[in-house]
């Protein structure tokens, strides 16, 4: 079997298929595995923007059982923080604690007049922490009996979904009378105000259950652990193999062709590469049904990212691991004007910087990915100048907020949405696929396509919300469906 893409989704699909007795090969276009779950080294500093937290890191939520099928947790040291993010705005601050009760007290400190919406919100987080997420079988494999039993087994989850799915974070923020609370609530997930409240409550619920750890070593270590497992199970990875075409015979996928002309025959092909690349380029747009087309036209994706990574020769004791702070001056980037930044102060992991020094990772989320891609393609000089100008504003902002930064910067590295696209092909530079908006959240997306047998879509684009645990779950679903099509009993050992 051939798997396109060596991100966490592709490697996980490989693991589950190997567990079930299939011989698999992962073809990755890059020079290393991991996809967007990546870090890079510059002069002793490691810059890691992905893997902030791993949903299911502890057995206080049921998704841990899923992760433990794949991950030997004795190989990962997990670190926990009390604060998810500290939001600073208009002279005030809001510590978003990883615990419903503490979060409630913090919100009451800021907006005592908003007791009603604060308690409703934090009670929802407490409830979400106790909701098991069904993952044992993909919905596509449900029997009539499974469908009938589902509402009884999952009535609390369904009730919760019905209540919170249709409301966006922006809608809920408008319930607060306190203007500062209203603004800062939007920055719990900065620039994601169009997400469904369901997604926010579930994420904070898992954090409240303290199943939200950070694996020390970050993205590199996480990828390494999954890759090791894949290889132990007998899987093979070929790097620098960009798949350009799926070979189809009698309506079934029978292999792939790569950009270098190499050809791999296969009885099943799984793509865990970007969805647009898969459907429009590799499959040439031939297998898109009306539903998928509507999805492409109408659904929102996670915004694209600029990542400004700084190696700073000082420590930042006592700071929150992640902050959202206002920029000292707005940055115009095409259609979008950035007014705030998210700063990750990576002093929680000694492997990310030399002793006494700190890696700072700054994210600016922008929906205008095209601005950066066009600049890079058509005007390299201006592209470089714009990157430098963004970095200058970010450094000035950090100087104003923390002091003693400007003269201590040893490394400055700017990745734009064009960089993410170049390295991983991700559509619109979106770092986590389809956004969990009211329209999308809770929907099962198609993993197979009409007129094409033996081809499956795995990876973050097959589930709104993506994420590490999300793509592992999808990989499991796809392996399950392949076993079912083959009349094999699915196993996870
Ligand atoms: C900044 C950032 C922060 C994040 N934070 C978190 C977090 O805290 N917690 C969390 O759970 N998730 C987080 N995520 C999301 C999570 O990392 C992703 O959802 C997940 O890693 C996606 O994995 P994937 O395999 O589906 O996709 P990708 O990582 O996109 O992998 C796809 C792979 O396919 C390869 N590919 C593409 N086209 C081809 C082709 N034609 N031929 C061969 N190979 C191809 C790409 O090079 C890539 O390696 C974050 C992501 C980012 C970027």
pLDDT, mean of each 10-residue run, the chain (493 residues): 98 98 98 95 95 96 97 96 95 96 98 98 97 94 96 96 97 97 96 96 97 97 98 98 97 97 98 94 92 90 96 97 97 96 97 97 96 97 97 98 97 97 93 94 88 95 92 97 97 95
pLDDT of residue 289: 87
Residue 352 near residue 46, CB atoms below 8 Å: yes
Give the separation between CA 203 and CA 466, rounded to whole angstroms: 12
**Rounded CA separation 322/251 (Å):** 49
- CA of residue 298 to ligand 1 center, whole Å: 22
Q: Where in the chain are the domains?
A: 2-38+60-76+215-300+433-485, 96-209, 304-427
In the prediction, which pLDDT does 186 show? 97
Rounded distance between C-alpha atoms, residue 297 and residue 281, angstroms: 17
CA–centroid distance, 7 to ligand 1, in Å, is 5
Task: Report whether CATH 3.40.1440.60 matches the domain 2-38+60-76+215-300+433-485.
Answer: no
Q: Which residue's CA lies nearest to atom 15 of ligand 1?
A: 467
- pLDDT on residue 134: 94
Is the CB of 197 within 6 Å of ligand 1? no
Distance CA 305, CA 486 (A): 41
Q: What are the backbone dihedrals phi and psi of residue 79, each rounded to the nearest 5 degrees, phi first? A: -115, 140
Question: Which tokens sit at 224?
Answer: 């390494």
Instruction: Give yes or no for a contact between 97 and 207, defined as CB atoms under 8 angstroms apart.
Output: no
Looking at residue 64, what is its pLDDT?
98
Confirm or reject: Cβ of 53 under 6 Å from ligand 1.
yes
| Ligand 1 site, residue 421, Cβ cutoff 6 A | no
Q: Which atom of ligand 1 is nearest to the CA of 36?
A: 29
Q: 273-311 burial, b if ≥16 CB within 10 A, otherwise e?
A: bbbbbbbeebbeeebeeeebeebeeebbbbbbbbbbbbb
Residue nearest to atom 5 of ligand 1 (CA): 50
> How many CB atoms within 10 Å of residue 54?
23
Q: Which residue lies with its CA nearest to atom 1 of ligand 1? A: 50
Residue 10 near ligand 1, beta carbon < 6 Å: yes
The CA R_g of the chain, rounded to the nearest whole Å, is: 22
Chain centroid to CA 278: how far?
A: 19
pLDDT of the residue at 247: 97
What pTM, to 2 d.p., does this model score? 0.96
Parallel, antiparallel or unpaired: strands 263-265 and 269-271: unpaired
**pLDDT confidence of residue 445:** 85
**Per-residue pLDDT, 168:** 98
Note whether 24 and 14 are within 8 A (CB): yes
Q: Facing residues of 452 across strands?
A: 449
pLDDT computed for residue 303 by the predictor: 94
Fold topology of 304-427: Guanine Nucleotide Dissociation Inhibitor; domain 2 (3.30.519)
If one counts every other C-beta atom within 10 angstroms of the C-beta of residue 476, the result is 25
Q: Is 424 in the pocket of ligand 1 (CB under 6 A)?
A: yes
For ligand 1, say whether the CB of 50 is within 6 Å of any of its atoms. yes
**CA 8 – ligand 1 centroid, Å:** 7
């Amino acid at each position: 079997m051939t798997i396109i893409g060596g991100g966490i989704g592709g490697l996980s699909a490989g693991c589950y298929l190997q567990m079930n007795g299939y011989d698999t090969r992962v073809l990755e276009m890059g020079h290393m595995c991991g996809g967007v779950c990546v870090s890079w080294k510059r002069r002793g500093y490691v810059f890691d923007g992905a893997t902030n937290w791993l949903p299911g890191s502890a057995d206080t939520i049921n998704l841990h059982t899923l992760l433990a099928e794949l991950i030997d947790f004795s190989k990962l040291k997990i670190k926990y923080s009390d604060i998810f993010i500290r939001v600073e705005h208009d002279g005030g601050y809001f510590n978003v604690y990883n615990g419903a009760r503490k979060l409630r007290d913090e919100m009451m400190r800021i907006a005592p007049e908003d007791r009603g919406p604060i308690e409703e919100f934090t009670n929802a987080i407490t409830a979400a922490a106790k909701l098991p997420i069904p993952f044992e079988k993909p919905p596509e494999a449900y029997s009539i009996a499974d469908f009938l039993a589902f509402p009884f087994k999952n009535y609390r989850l369904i009730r919760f979904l019905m209540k919170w799915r249709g409301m966006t974070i922006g809608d809920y923020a408008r319930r607060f009378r306190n203007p500062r609370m209203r603004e800062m609530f939007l920055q719990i997930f900065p620039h994601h105000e169009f997400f469904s409240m369901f997604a926010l409550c579930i994420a904070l619920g898992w954090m409240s259950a303290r199943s939200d750890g950070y694996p020390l070593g970050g993205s590199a270590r996480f990828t390494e652990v999954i890759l090791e497992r894949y290889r132990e199970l007998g899987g093979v990875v070929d790097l620098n193999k960009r798949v350009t075409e799926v070979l189809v015979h009698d309506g079934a996928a029978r292999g792939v062709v790569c950009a270098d002309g190499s050809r791999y025959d296969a009885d099943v092909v799984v793509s865990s590469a970007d969805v647009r690349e898969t459907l429009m380029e590799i499959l040439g747009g031939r297998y898109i049904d009306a539903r998928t087309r509507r999805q492409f036209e109408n659904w929102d994706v996670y915004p694209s990212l600029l990542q400004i990574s700084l190696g700073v020769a000082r420590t930042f004791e006592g700071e929150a691991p992640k902050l959202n702070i206002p920029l000292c001056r707005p940055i115009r980037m095409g259609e979008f004007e950035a007014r705030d930044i998210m700063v990750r102060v990576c002093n929680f992991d000694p492997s990310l910087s030399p002793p006494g020094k700190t890696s700072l990772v700054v994210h600016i989320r922008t929906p205008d990915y095209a601005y950066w891609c066009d600049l890079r393609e058509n005007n390299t000089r201006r592209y470089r100048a714009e990157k430098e100008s963004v970095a200058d504003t970010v450094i000035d902002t950090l100087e104003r907020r923390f002091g003693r930064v400007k003269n201590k910067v040893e490394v400055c590295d700017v990745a734009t949405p064009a960089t993410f696209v170049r390295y991983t092909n991700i559509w619109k530079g979106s770092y986590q696929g389809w956004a969990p908006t009211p329209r999308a959240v809770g929907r099962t997306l198609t993993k197979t396509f009409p007129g094409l047998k033996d081809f499956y879509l795995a990876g973050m684009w097959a589930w709104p919300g993506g994420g590490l645990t999300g793509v592992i779950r999808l990989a499991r679903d796809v392996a399950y469906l392949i076993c079912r099509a083959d009349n094999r009993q699915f196993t996870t050992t």
